[in-house]
Structure formats: C-alpha cells, structure tokens
Amino acid sequence: MSRTGSGHIRIAAPARGRDDGSMWERTTSAPPTPEPEAGYRWPERRRGLSRWARGPRTSGPLRRQPASGLAGGVAAGAAARTGLDVTLVRAVFVVTAVFSGFGAAAYVLAWLLVPAAGQDASIGAKAFTDRRGLTLTAGVCSLIIVLLLIASAVGAPWLTTVSWPLVITAGALVLIWRNAPAEERAVLQRLADPLLGIAGGSSRRRIVARVLIAAVLLIVGLSVLLSGHHDFAAARQLGGLALVIAAILLVLGPWWLRIARDLVVERQARIRAEERADIAARVHDSVLQTLALIQRRASDPQQVVQLARAQERELRSWLFDGRAPGSLDGPGMTLAAGIRLIQQEVEAQHGVPVEAITVGDCDLDEDLAALLAAAREATVNAAKWSGAATVSLFAEAEPAEVAVYVRDRGKGFDPAAVPGDRKGLTESVHARMARRGGSAVVRSAPGEGTEVSLRMPRDATQRQPGRA
Amino acid sequence: MTGGQAPAGRPRVVIVDDHGLFRSGVRSELGSHVDVIGEADDVAPAITLIGGTEPDVVLLDVHLPGGGGQLVITAIRAAHPQVRFLALSASDAPEDVIAVIRAGARGYVTKTISGPDLVDAIRRVAAGDSVFSPMLAGFVLDAFAASAAPDRPALDPELDQLTPREREVLRLIARGYTYKEIARELYISSKTVETHVSSVLRKLQLSTRHQLTRWATERRLA
C-alpha cells in the first residue's frame, strides 16, 4: 500500500517540483482538484480520500522534508507522517538531545538514512560507497572514543552519558557532510558557521573568544581532575594517564595523521583542478581564439601581425600585471579606454569594423564595468550575427548616468518573436544590467538592424577625471 | 545655409590627396556619379587648380605634405566662397578635424566610407548641406560639453552652447543614425535635421572660444 499511496499523492499535487513540503501540506489540508490526465486513477483516488478523512496523517514511508525543515527536515517529515505538530516533534528532539544526546544521534541518523521526499536513495546509500568518507568517520569516531575513555579515566562520569550518541552524531555528520547534495550541505554549513567562525578566524575578537573558551575548559578540567584527589595520588594517576594516552597515540596517531593528510591532499587537488579549469577557459577565450584567427587569415600578413601583437599585449598584462584577459576593470581603466578595448577586441576577433565614439569620460567602478561587459556582449553579438558591415558603438558619460548604444544595420529580428540565439543576448544583457540598477533596451525589426541601449546611473559623488 | 544653389546634374569635384593610389581609388569608386575635373597632391597645386576650375566640391585630405588641409580652405574661401569642402581623414585625430571644420569645411568623413555613402556626402555638400560623420558628431558633443563646464561661463551663449535639440541630433548621428532615421526618431523633417546640423557647424566655425581647439589638443594628450 505504501507505494501506491505515495504515487497517488504525487499525482494529487502535480508540478510542485522539489517543494515537497508544501505538497504534503496541501494533501493534508484539502483534497486536491482532479487532474484530467490522472482521470484513470479515479477509483484509487477515492480510496485515498477516504484514508485522509480519518485524520491529517499521511501514508507511505517516512520521508525527510529539507525544503520545510530547519536542518535536515527530519522533524518536518516525522510530523507529516505522524500527524503531530512539527514544533512538538522538534521539542522532543531538542530535549532528548540536551539530556542524553539521544535526540541528536537519532536526528542525525535519520538525516543520514531516511531519503528526502521525492528521492529514492538516502544519503547513507551514497555514503557507504565513499571509502575515504568511511575512513574519515572511523578516524573521527575513534578519536572521540579515545577522548571519552580518557575523560572517564580522569573522573568525569557525566560525559559518559552522552558518549555513544556523541560518537554516532559525529560519525553520521561526517558522512552527511561528504555525501549530501549541495543544498543540504549549504544548510549544514550555515548551521556550523558560528562554530567554524570561532575556530577558523584570526581576527582579534575571535582569538579572544577562543582563549576564553580554552581557559574555561582548562579550569573545569583541572577542578574535575583534582576535586576527588586531594593527596599526591593524583600525580601518580596523571602519570598513568599520560602513559595510556601515549600508547593510544602511538597506535592510532599515524593513522589519524594520514587521514588528515589525505584530506589536505584532496583539498589541494580540488583547488588545482579548479585553477586549471580557469586557466583553460581564459586561454581558450584569448590565445586559442587568436591562433585560430591567425590560421584563417594567413594570407593577410598585416592582420596576422596585428592579431599577434594584440594577443602578446594581452598575455603579458595577464602574466605580469595580473589583469585577466579581456577584463575591463583594473587600475587606471576608464570608460573611453574600455570602449576602445571592446572596439579592438571585436575588430580583431570578428573582422567587423567597429566605429567607437566616446563623449566624456570617467573612471570605472563595478557598475560601469558591468555596463561595459554588457556592451561588449552586445557588440560581439552584432558583429557575429547581424551580418552588418560595421557596428556603431557610442558611449556618453553624463553627470547622472552613463549610456552606451550598440547599433548595427544588419538583418535585425522581431523582438516579439525572438529566436533562440538573440534571446540569449537579450536576457543575459538585461539580467546583467538589472542586477546593478541599470537598464537595457533592445530595439530591432527584421531588415532594419538592431540597437541595444544600455544605461547605468552614476554615483553622484564620482568626479570626472582629466578635465581641466 | 545657402541651400538654393544646388547644381543641376553631376557635381564637379576636385580630389586633393597626396596618395596617388587613394586618388585613383576614390575616382573609380565615384564612377560616373560625379564629374571629377582634377586632382592635386599638395597645398600649392591644389590652390592653383581650385582657383582655376572653381569646382562644386573639393574632397580634401586633412593631412598634406605642405601643411594641413585648412591652408587650402583659408586660401580659397576669400576669393571663391561658392567652393565647398568635404574633409577626408584617415586619422580621426580630433585637432585635425576641428581645424578643417573651423577653417570652413562643410563636412567631414573618414576614409573608410563606402563609395555610395561618399557620393551621397558629396551631393549633400554640393547642395549646401553639411555632412557629419558619427565621429565628428562625437567630437563636437565632447568639445561643447567640455567648454560648457561650469567653471568656464560661456562668453556668447548663442555660439558657445548647443541647444538640447542639437545635442539630441548629434547624439543620434554618433549612434549611427542617418538624417532620415533621425527625422523619424524625433518626429521632425529631414530638412529640420539638416538645419540643426548646419547650425551646429556654424557654431563650430564661428565660436570665438579657443577652448574648442585647445580641447582637441587636450584630448590628444589624454
């Protein structure tokens, strides 16, 4: 029954996508409206309706609901499954977590082993194939066990009540962290952020916080240690303890170290891979592009020289000044220089003359760099697709705003019935400008060319450079 | 300004440029649309030729071995005011362009202009109209914006400032619009567009402020 039940519910609330939390809410609050396509399921639906009438309980296997939950959506899922109030379920988890640690362990295990709503496999299913993750879990668990053993040896019996839940929680969290989908990992990161902030930061306040916590721990530890042993026997006990710790470290230490080192290596490898991908993308956009152009224009020595020189300049500024190829921002970059750069780039890469005109000038900030990036995209597009012999690029810096116009007399298009390739331009330029508070207007008609008008308001405090 | 004198038929044209190849290229591009009555390769022969033939339009290179193209204009204008000049330049250097315009050229186009566009420009200059390339429109906007800076009050508002409408027209020229498109865009007639452009040209030529030329030099340095 459970399978048909869950299938049924999914049909009852179609097109909700991953927003499964509200799907459950809908099914529990009101019967869904019939779907034409699902008409053949009508008898089954009737059966389902009679089941819901008994109460706000849903059927089917327990599913987590990350979309409506605070952490892993376990409480939300359990509440939906049992018909209890979600706040009550959360309270039970918190209380049992505080008093025995059981709640935390149960929660994290459920997070690991119960699939999210709308998915078949749990995080655990994936985690069991993650060899390095399992090793890491074993390492973390063994480390905690050793610490707990030491704690109980020095006489802190209250710690042992949370010992097993603590081990389970830590181990499960490691596996969740390594195997959860990105959005759940983001939740975990958000929850852990305050703790990591204290541990990782190097600002003054964080160091103070760290030292304070360490001092409190030290005082508590010492008082616990010495409270039961007022005579010199304490020293002997401590000596024995040191030997035990040394023995454990001797046995397990190298293994822990290796796990830690593996993690560092893995992280470095990932960083290197990202760097390589970045370099590959930049080289592709600049050097490889130019080489391809040079091959195509081998018959025109003057242009080959020009291409090679432009590429050399760009490569040098990347390697030695750290300015990424094609980047429009940077020290000393102005609107007019950026427009000239776009002109040179498009002329070199697409062989279409660009008539670039700038009136006024100003330094670039992030907003204006975005404006130029949009202008470049529009210019490249005009050079590539319009079929026009030239592209007009006009920029004007006025006190209140900067405007850039990209116009071609090419084939144009009907903005109301936009074909795929131009839609990409329109949307990406629009989005880019809107994010920064600017605007983009595309005017075009078949046979009449295209004009893209871009406007970006200017910070009133900015002064015009170079105007005596 | 003096639009009534449009010569019937093909305008008579003299080409002044120091590159023989360029001259013959332009001559063949113009084909039979205009009547090329002579060529000159420097300032002195150009003055002699133009004085002797009195063409409708002189296609004048901004850079000549014997000096700037404006020397030719100043030498001819006094004796032959009906000869009109269309400046041609490869360089786009603002100070050259502003100099020939202020000397009295009726328009300015870059040497990359297409054959049909050049014919059209010659016809318009011959008819007494002015020809602004987008580049020139940009220069003029920039020059008047710079000289209209608040710390430099205009000596003669009539000549030293552009009207909002003139700025609008120039901006559209700089954006690559033709006069016809500008007329449609601003809901005015092509003739009105032409009037605005001529008025801008007059201001450019008559404005007594040397800031205009100084501006051009500053821009070169910047």
> Looking at this predicted complex, what is its ipTM?
0.76
Which pLDDT band, with edges at 50, 70 and 90, does A456 fall under? very high
Q: Give A53: exposed, middle or buried? Use CB within 10 Å, 0-12, 13-18, 19+.
A: exposed
| Shortest CA gap A456–chain B (Å) | 17
Q: What pLDDT sits at residue A332?
A: 62
Which pLDDT band, with edges at 50, 70 and 90, does A356 fall under? confident
Q: What pLDDT sits at residue B99?
A: 80
8 Å CB contact of B137 and A357: yes
Judge whether A407 is closer than 8 Å to chain B, CB to CB: yes
pTM for the model stands at: 0.52
Which pLDDT band, with edges at 50, 70 and 90, does A199 fall under? low
User: What is the rounded distance in angstroms from the CA atom of residue B222 to the CA atom of residue B218?
Assistant: 6
Which pLDDT band, with edges at 50, 70 and 90, does A194 fall under? low
Residue from the list A355, A360, A467 with its beta carbon closest to the beta carbon of B135: A355
Least confidently predicted of A129-143, A181-195, A341-355, B165-179: A181-195
Average pLDDT of A72-85? 82
Q: What pLDDT sits at residue A38?
A: 38
Amino acid at A77: G
Residue from the list A405, A467, A468 with its beta carbon closest to the beta carbon of B175: A405
Q: What pLDDT sits at residue A33?
A: 42
Question: Is the pLDDT assigned to residue B147 strictly greater than 60?
Answer: no
Average pLDDT of A32-37? 41
Question: Is the pLDDT assigned to residue A406 strictly greater than 90?
Answer: yes
| Shortest CA gap A419–chain B (Å) | 25
Q: What pLDDT sits at residue B84?
A: 92
Which pLDDT band, with edges at 50, 70 and 90, does A214 fall under? confident
Which helix (H) or strand (E) segment holds residue A304: the answer is helix A301-321
Q: What pLDDT sits at residue A167?
A: 83
Q: Choose between A357 and A222: higher pLDDT.
A: A357
User: What is the rounded distance in angstroms from the CA atom of residue A62 to the CA atom of residue B27?
Assistant: 87
* A410 chain-B contacts, CB cut-off 8 A: none
Q: What pLDDT sits at residue A162?
A: 63
- Chain A and chain B share a number of CB contacts under 8 A equal to 44
Q: What pLDDT sits at residue A198?
A: 58
Question: Is the pLDDT assigned to residue A405 strictly greater than 90?
Answer: yes
Judge whether A353 is closer than 8 Å to chain B, CB to CB: yes
Question: Is the pLDDT assigned to residue A67 strictly greater than 80?
Answer: no
Residue from the list A358, A467, A468 with its beta carbon closest to the beta carbon of B138: A358
Structure tokens at A301: 């020595």
Question: Considering only CB atoms, which residues of chain B are within 8 Å of chain A?
Answer: 112, 114, 134-135, 137-138, 141-142, 145-146, 149, 171, 174-177, 218, 222
- The answer to whether residues A78 and A89 touch, using CB atoms and an 8 Å cutoff, is yes
Q: What pLDDT sits at residue A415?
A: 72
Q: What pLDDT sits at residue A11?
A: 37
- The answer to whether residues A187 and A142 touch, using CB atoms and an 8 Å cutoff, is no
- The answer to whether residues A189 and A197 touch, using CB atoms and an 8 Å cutoff, is no
Structure tokens at B134: 């987008």
pLDDT, one tens digit per residue, over B83-102 is: 999 998 876 666 777 788 88
Residue of A357, A394, A450 to mutate, testing the B interface (most B Cβ within 10 Å of its Cβ): A357
Residue of A339, A347, A354, A394 to mutate, testing the B interface (most B Cβ within 10 Å of its Cβ): A394
User: What is the rounded distance in angstroms from the CA atom of residue B14 to the CA atom of residue A437?
Assistant: 53
* Adjacent-strand bridge partners of B15: B39, B59
Judge whether A376 is closer than 8 Å to chain B, CB to CB: no
8 Å CB contact of A360 and B112: no
Average pLDDT of A91-108? 83
